[in-house]
Structure 1
Amino acid sequence: MKKTSKRHLPGIALKASSLAALALCAACTMIPHYDRPDGSVAGTYPTAGDAAKAMGNSTSGIPAASDIGWRNFFTDPRLQKLIELSLKNNRDLRAAAFQVDELRGQYQIQRAALMPEIDLQGTGTRQSVPPALSQSGTRYGSVYQVNFTESQWELDFWGRIRSLSQAALQTYFATAEARKATEILLVSQVADQYLTLLAYDDELKVTNDTLATATESYRLAKLQFDVGTGSELDLRQAEGVVETAKANLQTQVRLRQQAINNLVLLVGEPLPDDLPAGTTLGEQKLMTDIPAGLPSDLLTRRPDIMEAEAKLKSANANIGAARAAFFPKVTLTSNAGTISPTLGSLFKAGSGQWAFTPSISLPIFDGGANIAGLAVVNADKKIAVAQYEKAVQSAFTEVANGLAGRGTYDAQIEAQTRFTATTQRRLDLSNLRYKSGVDSYLNVLTAQNDLYQAQLSLITAQLARQTNLVDLYEALGGGWIEHTGDTPRPSDVEYSIEPAAPAAPASATTAG
């Protein structure tokens, strides 16, 4: 017994080692090792003005932008409601969500190719055979059969199907991150458009005030001209100021209405009449001391960068599929069931039948198609690398520009505010000198026009400061969560007012 058992051990060991080798081969792919490319950006952001101070100790203890909820960043109740409505109704965001569903389905289709496809088929045939060709002498015959059929199932020895499945998965992740980027961008677009609308409101107020003052000046100039104490030159100059203010008023009314139309498009529905009361442009209290962190932090904060990296990983996985195309393809086809000349005996003993057909195909000559296919996917990867690096560099530039603005706009507005006050004082003095007869009316009109332009410039600077903060918040990855402290939802989960249940399937935020 011992000799017999020893004689069988080598065969058993050989069989076991063959199965192990087969399993190991089936578990491998030809996907190249992935290394994240260098973003080719500096290790720190450049600073301008007071940006360095804003990035220093004043930001200690403040969460990163991606961890700040948009309701905490935007405190205007009216703006909060508009953002909420846009996240539910915006059509671009809906289309992005549908694209996520589409790519999820395509990934599941590609992954299903790893499993055999089994169908149940039942057929019944009644046929007539010439007596001369019938071995039994029976002219008529019947054949009934029921089969479980497995279509051609490719044994993925070289990982071709798994490479394609991995490429589809990364494409799905990229689409989910693109949807997340669309949502973050939408939040900032709604805020920017709302702030622009507030700026037009302020400009209209300034223009209306200027028009009222200019109209009164024109009335006095006309009265003096009518009684012979004023010149026509003064009259026409005063009239020109009035007409200029009227033209500016119509321009601002038009731009304001267009801003409302753009806001309606972003929100996805007409603006409700019961919106909460908002605050003016100058009363907006946006967070200013947001830590910028390091450029490397953008790799995990910015969904557009994560989207570009997922596309790169997908291109990398396609290389594995192209490499596997050079190796033999093994497929299995089989069926098993019952066959009988009568329907009643179809499932009786002795009616079983089966067929098993393995096949192997080895590419010998294809006119260079496989070589060209490998060259294509290698080029696609190089393109994806360049696009990833461009995404990192663009993100770095956006943040750097935002920090430069944060460090300079405050000082600009302070200077512009002082200049506006000085211009107002100059107008007051010009009026006094004109009424005292020691100065011409031209100086009054010049001071009045300078004050008007200074007030508009101040509003423009205030708008630029606010939108710069909004854009910096978005550039640093802010706008995904609603409240500070919320657990970020996966990238493929849509916004909901009520907290959503934790998602079971893996998503782009958990991709390795």
Structure 2
Amino acid sequence: MRTSLPWLIAVLVSLSLGACSLAPQYARPALPVPEAYPVATEPQAAEFALDWVHYFQDPDLQALIKLALENNRDLRIAVLRIEEARAQYGIQKADRLPTINGTLGYERSRSVLTQGQKFDTDYYRAGVNVTDFELDFFGRVKNLSSAALEQFYSMQDARESVQTSLVTELATAYVNLLALNERLTLAQDTLQSRRASLSRIKRRHEGGLDNAIELKTAEIQASSAEASVSALAREQALAINALHLLTGDKAPASAMPPKPLHSVQVETVAPGLPSQLLEQRADIRAAEHRLIAANANIGAARAAFFPRIQLTTSAGLVNDDLLGLFGGGSDRVWSFTPQLVLPIFNAGRNQASLDLAVVRKDVAVAEYEKAIQTAFREVADVLVVSRQIDDEIALQSRIAEADRERLRLATRRYERGVANYLELLDAQRSLFESDQQLVKLKQLGLVNKINLYKALGGH
């Protein structure tokens, strides 16, 4: 029996590891979106790498992204969540194999016979034991381990999704800052122009050429331009603070030099088919891993209706002398205690657990489908904007150029005394608004390209 016991345990463990699974066979849900995007595009090759190093080619932006990936706290939390899931999977995986402990103990006891005789005995024991190891014939522990593994994979993809969002948010904040720099420069130029006009009108008013209404109007417009400068300076400071937060407060001023928006180069990428999002988008992959985990949990809940076999066994040496415990005179002892636990009555707990597992799988299916629909909409929105934004920028550029020519003519007419100040003021205001709108459209175009990086699952 001493030689057959280890073999018996090994056979039972092998049968346990090869246990059947009561989990439903997993099948990926059908795509809950159309087969093509609303706006037709040339499909991009599926193997195209949407990495931020190649997509964002501006060196200053690349430096900021690198700082963010090294120091951003949201990304750091996501990495720690991966380690948490890794540890949880390790715990669940360990339950599939027996836990073997070494023991060394001492026991002293007194026995009393019926005649009143007393006997004191003491002995030392050393050995190994396996306590309450579950023979997983119905796959309960295996499914729990599989669910933990899928949760680990989900956390890995969630970390990539956080990185994608971080890169997108930082690139957007960078573009917003550049746009604010340009708008602030325009506002400052307008303020100087209106202050110059105010000085000129004051002189003309003192000479009797302009009336008090024109002087007061010039003062109001100068104050309005000053207020615009102040508001844009405030927005600029907030944009800089946003970049500092995203980079973990590591962004130096040298990494944010003022430059025109057109200097920011972004890779041109055409989206592929909607089905490619399943592999490209980390959030969709994470949602599917959570769905597979929920599917495995159903198998674990079903297994609770079947008998559970628990194994407790031990083997070791016994001697009344500690020094002789590992010598040749020690007695060998062992025990083998299998236990069958059969669920009879638990007030519906097992059925409720199964119902809960099924509902959670249905929730996971809905979340998976929602992730796909959200991704499809994000790509579709980007395509719609891309289709229109270039035309709007070209049209607004012509409007700004026309306003610039109008201001030049109005200035000449005013200086010659042919037009009044209100005509000049209207031309100045129109050009300022046109230039501001043009900068906003260029900003929108760049932000839309940044959103395409996120929508297609950049990393």
Q: What range is the shorter-chain TM-score in?
A: over 0.9
Contact 2:179 2:440 (C-alpha < 8 Å) held by counterparts: yes
Which secondary structure state, in structure 1, belongs to the residue aligned with residue 137 of structure 2?
coil
Q: How much has 1:276 moved relative to structure 2?
A: 8.4
Q: How much has 1:226 moved relative to structure 2?
A: 1.9
- 1: CA distance, partners of 2:361 / 2:301: 12
Who is 1:89 aligned against?
71
Who is 1:312 aligned against?
291
Amino acid at match of 1:336: A
Choose which of 81, 89, 106 in structure 2 pairs with 1:107. Answer: 89
Q: How much has 1:123 moved relative to structure 2?
A: 1.0
Contact 2:17 2:96 (C-alpha < 8 Å) held by counterparts: no
- 1: CA distance, partners of 2:116 / 2:90: 51
Aligned length: 447
Who is 2:444 aligned against?
464
Who is 2:199 aligned against?
219
Q: How much has 1:426 moved relative to structure 2?
A: 1.5
- 2: CA distance, partners of 1:366 / 1:70: 55
Amino acid at match of 2:437: S
- 2: CA distance, partners of 1:134 / 1:42: 91
Who is 1:333 aligned against?
312
Amino acid at match of 2:27: D
TM-superposition CA deviations, 1:394-426 (whole Å, max 9, x none) = 000000111111111111000000000111111
Contact 1:64 1:291 (C-alpha < 8 Å) held by counterparts: no
TM-superposition CA deviations, 1:138-174 (whole Å, max 9, x none) = 4x43121112111100000000000100111111111
Which secondary structure state, in structure 1, belongs to the residue aligned with residue 228 of structure 2?
helix
Amino acid at match of 2:69: L
Who is 1:292 aligned against?
271
- 2: CA distance, partners of 1:25 / 1:271: 53
Which secondary structure state, in structure 2, belongs to the residue aligned with residue 291 of structure 1?
coil
User: What root-mean-square deviation, in Å, do the aligned CA atoms of Structure 1 and Structure 2 show?
Assistant: 2.1
Who is 1:365 aligned against?
345
- 2: CA distance, partners of 1:37 / 1:133: 79
- Structure-2-length-normalised TM-score: 0.93
Amino acid at match of 1:326: F
Larger deviation, residues 68-77 vs 383-392: 68-77
Contact 2:71 2:250 (C-alpha < 8 Å) held by counterparts: no
- 2: CA distance, partners of 1:110 / 1:463: 50
Contact 1:200 1:256 (C-alpha < 8 Å) held by counterparts: yes
- 2: CA distance, partners of 1:262 / 1:306: 29
Structure 2 counterparts to residues 108-507 of structure 1, below 5 A: 108-127=90-109, 137-138=118-119, 140-275=120-255, 279-288=259-268, 290-347=269-326, 348-349=328-329, 351-478=331-458, 480=459
Amino acid at match of 2:75: L
Q: How much has 1:65 moved relative to structure 2?
A: 8.5
Relative to structure 1, the CA distance from residue 443 to residue 133 in structure 2 (aligned partners, 3 Å threshold; closer, same or farther) is farther
Larger deviation, residues 338-347 vs 442-451: 338-347
- 1: CA distance, partners of 2:256 / 2:443: 21
Q: How much has 1:223 moved relative to structure 2?
A: 1.1
Which secondary structure state, in structure 1, belongs to the residue aligned with residue 321 of structure 2?
coil
Amino acid at match of 1:320: G
- 2: CA distance, partners of 1:84 / 1:134: 84
- 1: CA distance, partners of 2:114 / 2:24: 65
Which secondary structure state, in structure 1, belongs to the residue aligned with residue 391 of structure 2?
helix
Identity across the alignment (%): 38
TM-superposition CA deviations, 1:426-484 (whole Å, max 9, x none) = 11222222223332211111111111111110010000000100110121112x2xxxx
Q: How much has 1:39 moved relative to structure 2?
A: 2.4
- 2: CA distance, partners of 1:24 / 1:433: 96
- 2: CA distance, partners of 1:208 / 1:278: 15
Amino acid at match of 1:358: P
- 2: CA distance, partners of 1:361 / 1:24: 16
TM-superposition CA deviations, 1:201-255 (whole Å, max 9, x none) = 1011100110011000111111111222211110111111111111111111111
- 2: CA distance, partners of 1:23 / 1:64: 43
Larger deviation, residues 248-257 vs 436-445: 436-445
Which secondary structure state, in structure 2, belongs to the residue aligned with residue 203 of structure 1?
helix
In the alignment, is residue 27 of structure 1 matched against residue 9 of structure 2? no
List runs of 5+ in structure 2 lacking aligned partners: 1-10
Which secondary structure state, in structure 1, belongs to the residue aligned with residue 206 of structure 2?
helix
TM-superposition CA deviations, 1:322-365 (whole Å, max 9, x none) = 00000000010011111122223323345110111000011111
Contact 1:178 1:304 (C-alpha < 8 Å) held by counterparts: yes
- 2: CA distance, partners of 1:133 / 1:350: 31
- 1: CA distance, partners of 2:100 / 2:71: 43
Relative to structure 1, the CA distance from residue 134 to residue 46 in structure 2 (aligned partners, 3 Å threshold; closer, same or farther) is farther
Contact 2:50 2:453 (C-alpha < 8 Å) held by counterparts: no
Relative to structure 1, the CA distance from residue 88 to residue 474 in structure 2 (aligned partners, 3 Å threshold; closer, same or farther) is same
- 1: CA distance, partners of 2:115 / 2:225: 106
- Structure-1-length-normalised TM-score: 0.83
